[in-house]
């Protein structure tokens, strides 16, 4: 099995950091765009898609800034993070995604993020 490599994507999003943060950190916000259903219990998020369930441990949360998860069954060094980046001069808001994938699946993983973020933008009405 080939080793997973870290990659980062950035998406411009017309939203306030506070509103965007609720969509990347709260179960009902995440359930509107990231997964079919999301629950949170004891620092663990449970995500469901079409009957498939995956659990992720919450590693870090900074109010209106970032949320970092680790899939329970993933390699020790891997995580995924969603960080809200706001330009100090223009106040433009972007969402930076950090994730890990193997060389063979990196393009597919990027496409999945592109689709998910497109959906997030439509849910936000941004």
Question: Tens digit of pLDDT for each residue in 39-66?
Answer: 999 999 999 999 899 999 999 999 999 9
DSSP H helices in 1-126:
17-25, 27-30, 106-124
Residue 104 contacts by C-beta under 8 Å, 6 or more apart in sequence?
2
pTM for the model: 0.92
Does residue 126 carry a pLDDT above 80?
no
């Amino acid at each position: 099995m080939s080793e997973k490599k870290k990659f980062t994507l950035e998406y411009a999003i017309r939203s306030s950091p506070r509103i965007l943060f609720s969509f990347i950190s709260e179960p009902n916000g995440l359930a509107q765009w990231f997964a079919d259903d999301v629950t949170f219990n004891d620092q663990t998020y449970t995500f469901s898609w079409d009957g498939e369930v995956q659990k992720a441990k919450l590693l870090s949360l900074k109010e209106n800034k970032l949320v970092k998860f680790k899939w329970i069954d993933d390699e020790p060094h891997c995580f995924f993070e969603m960080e809200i980046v706001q330009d100090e001069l223009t106040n433009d808001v972007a969402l930076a995604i950090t994730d890990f994938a193997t060389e063979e699946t990196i393009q597919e993983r990027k496409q999945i993020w592109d689709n998910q973020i497109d959906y997030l933008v439509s849910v936000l009405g941004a």
